[in-house]
Structure 1
Amino acid sequence: MVRRLSAVVVAGAVVLLGQSPALAQDRAETENGDDVLVISSVRVTDGVVEVVGSGAGAGAEVAVHGGSPAAEPGDVVDATAEGTGTADGSGGFTVSIPRSDGAGDRLYSQFVAEAGGAVSGGHFADDFAFTPRYDYPYQPPASKKGLSGTQMADDVEELGATSSKFNLPFQKLVDAGPAADPGTQITFESQGRTFYFNRSYVERMDRQVKTLYEAGAPPYFILLLQNKARENSALDVLMHPNADPSQGGRIFAFNTVTDEGIAHYTAAVEFLTDRYSRTDARYGRAAGWVVGNEIDAQWVWGNAGEMTMDEYLDHYMTTLRLTYLAARKATTEPVVMTSLTKHWNHSHDTNPLRSYKPRDILDSLARRSKNTGDFPWHVAYHSYPQDLRDPRFWNDPDATHDVDTKYVTFKNLEVLVDYMRRPEMLYQGEPRRIALTEQGAHTLSTEDGEELQAAAYALAYYRILFLDGIDAFVNQRHVTHGNSALRHGLWTNDPDRPEPNAPGRKKKIYNVFKYIDTERSLEVTEFAKDIIGITNWSEMVPGFDPDKLAVRDLPTTVGTDIDAVTLGTGPALSDFSTDTDNWEAGVNTSSVSHITDNGGALRVHFNNNADLKFWSTIAKTWKGTNVDLPQPINATNTPHLTIPIRVPDPGNLGTRHAKIKVHSTNGTTAEGTATLHSTDWTTLTLDLSTWTGNTTINNIKVWVRGTTNNDWSG
């Protein structure tokens, strides 16, 4: 007969872990002694799950039970044992179980051991010895400079951002069941069941993620749920059963409480991580996966109803763990992150059932993870200035440099980095990763407002650049949103357009952002020192080293001739006489098509798909096509690239420009720009003779744009 433990213990390992670490050692006792029955590890291979533990008593029969990740251990052990074994002379045991449970995958199971009337606490997979579908190591962003709200992938590439952010609301993605028209859905198999995803939304996402990836800025996916119903949406099953849409919340907690909620959430993450982790990057690739948004302010940004922090983290920890396990099936080292605000050691709300302290959340997540099977969860932090409307974070009064600080902002990020290096916070002896996935500086409505914003960005970037332990600094807003009181963007919004985030003009911060990681860094930030009140950056930037600022090479600008006379001919890269070449839709375009008569041509479309957003058809954004060459080209003997282009002029584009970008495997880029004066064919010739990358050309992009914010049906 199985003996249930005391009320504190049978509440389950998840609840237990909200208590002190010492309680975790009291999860179970044998009937006649003080030996503790524990599972110490769960190793998952391609075919087997090995459950290892101790405290069973010499020679005791050990039964291992597996169950729902959200179940209480006492409920798990009531199920039929999935495997049995005999303890050795010291009470240690290893029980092997097939990984496959029919159509299910025991990777997601919570395991409980039972021996001699004692029951262990729950334990999850923590030794990941199986081969994922895409076996490659984690690659951090090429630099720390990132940008969110990235409407214009062309501009992201021009700015040199190396990461971005993509808000992914699951109610738009996941369908409740099959649709009347199967063509409107993508099906996916998970745990022996078929799940359905909204094809039009997925394909829109594909285009944006792929263009961001090709622009060099793969996104951190922010996994969210909004209370916005649509036909056949799985919103009802995905929303936490205690969520209170009538009382508060812009974002809601996921339902990883019920079996159906767990099944739909897990299938969605498997689908996403499989699609955006492919080695061929067919749909682009993710930088990481952020589970929810600012969970310390749960009533507003992760609503699960009023509950204590421990109650909230009972469910959130399940969601975080399921996300990692699903992502680990796809790739070797997925980056799965929790999301927290700047409110380090105090709460947003005086009601302790609605918000919590980020520091307490980190402590609890670490205890829970280590006590029930550690896994590499990481931290997405939002280090806004203390006053969101004041960019002068260097004056933040409550952002101090001690662990009990009220806020962690740009001013004192060292507190967070140092805290994550504490022994109890480490994963396998290493600090968990930190990415700053949302923060920025507001533009005041004053004469010097734009300069203050730009100065704040410069100081924040330098501090983060020289602070070891942060992967990315993703600046909030590409274009200032016209409906927001906070003006974080690099661009103003255009008041003459109906869309609130249509690009207007570039602000002072634009060139600071563009060149701060290049050889022009000190030049474009010089103005900021007077504003901040310093004479040298080292006064506020520990470890500042001007020799380490240029982490990105600027493109080499090469000569571009219009309708030049060709003196010789080199190899033809494409003649477009057939549709077998590799040219594809690039930034702000929907498709390409071939015209195979009259010698062949490539037509680029950016007005034939209703899913394209307004910034794609605004004339002044670059639109283009690109090709990955099957083999790198050595152009040293024929270093001139000639491309004929024809761009119509419907009369509302302003001045029309063309840009050709040529990329090399050595990491450098050459580019040439020309103004187009004719609506007939114009031949552009780039002189690549002085460019160091001309021996290994592997990619070519051809872009065109106008200069107005009028719609361009191209």
Structure 2
Amino acid sequence: MLTLTKIALQEYGRLTFGLAIAMMDKVLFRVVLFFLGLVVFLACKGKQPESPPVVEQVRYLSFDEETANQLDVKAIGQHQYEIRTTGTDPYILLSPLTHQRGEGDLVLSLEYKATSPLHHLQVFLGAPINEERSLKTAEIAASSSWKMLAIDLGDQIKEFNWGNVGDFLRLDFGNEQNVAVHIRNLRLRKRNEAEEKSARERELFRQDDEALNQEIMAYLNRTYPASIVDVSVEGETIAIRGVAPAGEPVMLAEVTPYQQLSRVTKFTYTYSLEGSQFVLSLARYVERDGFRYDRALSAWAVIREGSTKDDLLSHARYATQIEAQWNLPVQSLAHKKGLGGFSASRGFVEDLDDLPIGSVTVNVPITSFIYLDARPDTYVHEYGGKSFYFDRKKIDELDQTFRVAAARNIIVSAIILVQKASECADPSVGELLEHEHYTDDAFFTMPRLDNAESLRCYAAALDFLAGRYCQPGSPYGRIHHWIMHNEVDAGSTWTNMGKGRPLFVYLDNYYKSMRVCYNIAKAYNAHTEVLASFTHSWVTKAPGGDYATLDMINGLLQYSTAEGDFRWGLAYHPYPEDLNEPKTWNDSQATFSPRSPLVTFKNLEVLDDWIKRPENWYMKTNKRMLWLSENGTNSRTYEEKDLQEQAAGLAYAWKKLARLDGIDAIQWHNWIDNRNEFGLRIGLRRFPDDEEDPGGRKPVWHVYQAAGTEREDEIFEPYKAIIGINDWREIMKEIP
């Protein structure tokens, strides 16, 4: 039994092994078949024709030819147009979107040819159409061959959620007449790699800008344990007096205008302090950063020295007492009647006597006459241990203008303007003074003040002007007040350091520019005042503006409280709500509330109320100066009706002005109609090249002449009917 069983088991094993081998053969066979099939499949697949690539559909944009304004447009081929500008405001709408904007389509792309340069191309994202919803390019160069132009609208598209069905674009072709432009292949596309990189950099810059804005606001609002009580400059010495925490080792730190206080980690120029109350006298002039630096331009703060970062223990304070080189007499306004944009070279100087005039503004573009290197026919001026050169012909022209005013005891405000680099007389000056974030579509730049060399160049120009026009006897004429730049609430258009800058980042640069000018001019004239220039915005932005004027003014008050007050005032421009419309009494956005959206001629009471509030005064003791330094009513044409409405606008404004003693003077702008003022005719005289009556006196001239005289009521009487009143007292309102 045992043997038989053993034999049986052996046979069973052979059988089982055979079955296993057989099964393995089948599996192997199947595996081989699978791989053979795969090879055949792949081989066959490789022989098949490739699928055609997916081609993204290009949706070209088209012009809505019926919407053309001051331009002729004609389609001359597929997605191609011929355009010719016929006026100074040429624009056209694109046909509304019939589909949702494609994901990532953020760049407006086109090809163009142009017979002449265009000052800019402005893209509006409608609707609605307004300046805030637009992007303006730099100058568009002339080109006889097709040239690509790409405009990244991504930021605006995101902000305004643009790109839905029915949305549209409007293209404005600069402000030049008779320019022929060919355009083709106008479309929206995705960003390329370089554009994506640029967009990321812009976003990082915006984030840092906002962080800086918060830092400045926190600094101005903070309460510190120490304080700088007074900074006095006398001769060659500067004295700093302050209060420090008792029992702590603290230091006095110097802060130059080209330092950003909130970003300073370790202060370079420091001095040990002893005692809780201190007075420290230092040399006014020091050799620093390659030149002889005047520390009258610096601010001073108490700090606690740290190993890696110093702690700020006080606000920084500028000099509030500066000894003047000359004891110039105070000159008072004879009356409120003035002229804007005055220059003796414009002719009609007799108007100063015939109207008569008590004050003028004079444009002083400093970058049009300063050079870094020796030039023929220049005046040489030493500043900071370096020679600067000033164009003799242009300075002589300024002399003539200022002398004409001085001979009549007319008060003069110089409007300090800084041109963009491409317009500067000396390109090297342009490199120093054009703000690093300036965008090329603006008329002027905010001066760059973030480095020692730029500060010295800017200060040298101001020092030359102050030294020349603030002398005893006024041998070259006199500058009484300094209007700092133009309409800074519309900074991206007029005084530019980039578009969309946060309020306090922008205001910080402007405030420093005001301080530098004030401290330099005060060293010559103890009665120096600087004026801040604003549009007619008040609590809301003006059309095309960046900031509300009241926000900027309140910001200046914050700086004055924190860092020491100085004599600054307002150079306000209360144009009518619509600059083309002379009937300012109809302005809907000018209300009689302290929180009015705008302040125009209609509600000058709002300005008068603000300037007379003691909390807004210089040192809380003296009313700040308020000039209406640029304003006028327009005559749409030289037809009699339009001329009479312009004159009525002046009569209305003057009757208000005469009753508001917080407003010191008005400088009517423009003195003479100017072809370069966007089609406006706001002057007292016609265009000098007018065919019928070149430079002729308009009715508004005669109204201005009568203003403030015994003939005022007689000459003003007919304008009541145009305004719709029976008595001039009807136009005056109370501010709650």
Q: Which TM-score applies when normalising by structure 1?
A: 0.67
Deviation at 1:202, TM superposition (A): 0.7
Deviation at 1:364, TM superposition (A): 0.9
Task: Specify the SS of the correspondent of 1:413.
Answer: helix
CA distance 1:198–1:15, shift in 2 (3 Å): farther
1:327 aligns with 2:514: no
Equivalent in the alignment of 2:531: 337
CA distance 1:305–1:75, shift in 2 (3 Å): closer
Deviations 1:251-298 (A, max 9, x none): 111112221111111111111112112221111112311111000101
CA distance 1:61–1:43, shift in 2 (3 Å): farther
Counterpart contact for 2:219–2:262, Cα < 8 Å: no
1:113 aligns with 2:113: no
Equivalent in the alignment of 1:139: 331
- What 5-or-longer segments of structure 1 have no aligned partner? 1-6, 27-35, 544-714
1:196 aligns with 2:381: no
Equivalent in the alignment of 1:448: 641
Counterpart contact for 1:99–1:105, Cα < 8 Å: yes
Task: Pick the aligned partner of 2:223 from 16, 25, 28.
Answer: 25
Task: Specify the SS of the correspondent of 1:360.
Answer: helix
Counterpart contact for 1:136–1:331, Cα < 8 Å: yes
Equivalent in the alignment of 2:580: 389
1:237 aligns with 2:432: yes
Equivalent in the alignment of 1:414: 605
Q: For residue 601 of structure 2, what is the amino acid of its counterpart? A: F
Task: Specify the SS of the correspondent of 1:403.
Answer: coil
Equivalence map 1:464-483=2 (5 Å): 464-483=657-676
Tell me the distance in 2 between the aligned counterparts of 1:235 and 1:541.
48
1:534 aligns with 2:717: no
Deviates more, 1:506-515 or 1:415-424: 415-424
Tell me the distance in 1 between the aligned counterparts of 2:320 and 2:581.
46
Deviation at 1:337, TM superposition (A): 0.8
Equivalent in the alignment of 1:223: 416
Equivalent in the alignment of 2:258: 70
Q: For residue 230 of structure 1, what is the amino acid of its counterpart? A: A
CA distance 1:257–1:341, shift in 2 (3 Å): same
Tell me the distance in 1 between the aligned counterparts of 2:726 and 2:613.
35
Equivalent in the alignment of 1:93: 278
Task: Specify the SS of the correspondent of 2:713.
Answer: helix
Equivalent in the alignment of 1:317: 511
1:154 aligns with 2:346: no
Tell me the distance in 2 between the aligned counterparts of 1:366 and 1:43.
21
Tell me the distance in 2 between the aligned counterparts of 1:231 and 1:322.
22
Counterpart contact for 1:162–1:218, Cα < 8 Å: yes
Deviations 1:353-397 (A, max 9, x none): x71111111111110222122211111000001111111111111
Deviation at 1:534, TM superposition (A): 2.0
Q: For residue 233 of structure 2, what is the amino acid of its counterpart? A: V
Deviation at 1:308, TM superposition (A): 1.1
Q: For residue 178 of structure 1, what is the amino acid of its counterpart? A: A
RMSD between aligned alpha carbons? 2.7
CA distance 1:431–1:505, shift in 2 (3 Å): same
Counterpart contact for 2:252–2:300, Cα < 8 Å: yes
Q: For residue 326 of structure 1, what is the amino acid of its counterpart? A: I
- What 5-or-longer segments of structure 2 have no aligned partner? 1-206
Deviation at 1:114, TM superposition (A): 2.6
CA distance 1:509–1:332, shift in 2 (3 Å): same
Larger radius of gyration: 2
Counterpart contact for 2:233–2:323, Cα < 8 Å: no
1:209 aligns with 2:402: yes
Task: Specify the SS of the correspondent of 1:86.
Answer: coil
Q: How many percent identity over aligned positions?
A: 29
Deviation at 1:149, TM superposition (A): 3.3
Deviations 1:233-255 (A, max 9, x none): 6222111111111xx20111111
Equivalent in the alignment of 1:38: 227
Task: Specify the SS of the correspondent of 2:301.
Answer: strand
Counterpart contact for 1:77–1:113, Cα < 8 Å: no
Equivalent in the alignment of 1:426: 617
Deviations 1:305-330 (A, max 9, x none): 12111111121111111011011011
Deviations 1:184-220 (A, max 9, x none): 2111122232222112111111112211332443432
Q: For residue 277 of structure 2, what is the amino acid of its counterpart? A: G
Equivalent in the alignment of 1:489: 683
Q: For residue 144 of structure 1, what is the amino acid of its counterpart? A: K
Equivalent in the alignment of 2:553: 362
CA distance 1:233–1:474, shift in 2 (3 Å): farther
Deviation at 1:541, TM superposition (A): 4.1
Task: Pick the aligned partner of 2:370 from 174, 177, 186.
Answer: 174
Equivalence map 1:121-132=2 (5 Å): 121-128=314-321, 130-132=322-324
Deviation at 1:507, TM superposition (A): 0.9
Task: Specify the SS of the correspondent of 1:400.
Answer: coil
Q: For residue 298 of structure 2, what is the amino acid of its counterpart? A: S
Tell me the distance in 2 between the aligned counterparts of 1:536 and 1:464.
16
Task: Specify the SS of the correspondent of 1:444.
Answer: coil
Q: For residue 437 of structure 2, what is the amino acid of its counterpart? A: N
CA distance 1:71–1:483, shift in 2 (3 Å): closer
Counterpart contact for 1:220–1:290, Cα < 8 Å: yes
Tell me the distance in 2 between the aligned counterparts of 1:74 and 1:216.
45
Deviation at 1:15, TM superposition (A): 6.8
1:375 aligns with 2:574: no
Counterpart contact for 1:24–1:371, Cα < 8 Å: no
Counterpart contact for 1:186–1:198, Cα < 8 Å: yes
Deviation at 1:339, TM superposition (A): 0.5
Counterpart contact for 1:65–1:77, Cα < 8 Å: no
CA distance 1:297–1:73, shift in 2 (3 Å): closer
Structure in which a larger fraction of residues adopt helix = 2
Tell me the distance in 1 between the aligned counterparts of 2:710 and 2:533.
34
Tell me the distance in 2 between the aligned counterparts of 1:537 and 1:74.
53
Task: Specify the SS of the correspondent of 1:506.
Answer: coil
Equivalent in the alignment of 1:519: 710
Q: For residue 136 of structure 1, what is the amino acid of its counterpart? A: L
Equivalent in the alignment of 2:62: none
Equivalent in the alignment of 2:198: none
Counterpart contact for 2:252–2:303, Cα < 8 Å: yes
Equivalent in the alignment of 1:437: 629
CA distance 1:56–1:76, shift in 2 (3 Å): farther
Tell me the distance in 1 between the aligned counterparts of 2:262 and 2:630.
41
Q: For residue 18 of structure 1, what is the amino acid of its counterpart? A: M
Tell me the distance in 2 between the aligned counterparts of 1:411 and 1:101.
52
Deviation at 1:121, TM superposition (A): 4.3
Q: For residue 24 of structure 1, what is the amino acid of its counterpart? A: R
CA distance 1:465–1:76, shift in 2 (3 Å): same
Deviation at 1:511, TM superposition (A): 1.5
Tell me the distance in 1 between the aligned counterparts of 2:341 and 2:364.
12
Counterpart contact for 1:114–1:120, Cα < 8 Å: yes
CA distance 1:175–1:213, shift in 2 (3 Å): same
Equivalence map 1:263-662=2 (5 Å): 263-306=456-499, 307-348=501-542, 355-429=546-620, 430-445=622-637, 446-484=639-677, 485-495=679-689, 503-541=694-732
